Structure 1
Amino acid sequence: MPMTQFDLQWPDGSVMKCHSPSTIIRDYLVVGKEYTLADFLECAEKGLGHASERVREKYGFACSMAADQWDLIRIQSDRYQAVPAAKVQILRIK
């Protein structure tokens, strides 16, 4: 499966480089779009989950890298839960 990288910008301006095991993440995240924190987390969880399932369909097992990436995103997002109107922007998908 083609690995897809995506960069996102957190509400404090920091950038996180992320990986998906499938290009399907492009169906869930849009370059240039600003998401509310809750919307971003929902899209990222669904997208990485779908990517992992595509790996399962092809190879017979889920992708632990997708689960690990989701965990890193979730942990990082905890820093911004108390920030009013926190936004996450997708900078790049390649």
Structure 2
Amino acid sequence: MPEIRFQIELPNGSLETCYSPSLIVKEYFTPGSEYALDDFIARSRTALTIASDRVKAKYGRPCGLALGQLQEIEAMAAQLQHLPQPKVKLIGFVE
């Protein structure tokens, strides 16, 4: 399975690199685009769950790295919810 990483800029200006075991994230994010924090979380949840399910279909178990990445994204988002109109920018993909 082709894996991919995607770099994001959080509302506080910090950069993070996220992991997906599938290229499905390219269907949910566009480089250079900004997403409201809640929208980014929802898109991440959908894409990373699909990616994990693809791993499960191929190897018989879900992808712990994809599910762990989703937990990290949700934890980061929880710390940024207090900001007014927080947005996440997708910088780009690294294959």
**Alignment TM class, shorter chain as reference:** over 0.9
Q: Which residue of 1 aligns with 2:15?
A: 15
What RMSD, in angstroms, separates the aligned Cα atoms of the two structures?
0.7
**What's the TM-score once normalised by structure 1's chain length?**
0.96
Q: Tell me the amino acid that sits aligned with residue 14 of structure 2.
A: S
Percent of paired sites with the same residue: 36
Deviations 1:21-66 (A, max 9, x none): 0011111111111000000000001000000011111111110100
Q: For structure 2, which runs of at least 5 residues remain unmatched after alignment?
A: none
Q: Tell me the amino acid that sits aligned with residue 9 of structure 2.
A: Q
**What's the TM-score once normalised by structure 2's chain length?**
0.95
Q: Which residue of 1 aligns with 2:91?
A: 91
Q: Is 1:35–2:35 an aligned residue pair?
A: yes
Q: Tell me the amino acid that sits aligned with residue 52 of structure 1.
A: S
Q: Tell me the amino acid that sits aligned with residue 89 of structure 2.
A: Q
Q: What are the within-5 Å matches in structure 2 for residues 1-94 of structure 1? A: 1-94=1-94
Distance in 2 separating the partners of 1:25 and 1:63: 15
Q: Tell me the amino acid that sits aligned with residue 21 of structure 2.
A: P
Distance in 2 separating the partners of 1:79 and 1:61: 30
Q: Find runs of 4+ consecutive structure 1 residues off by over 4 angstroms.
A: none
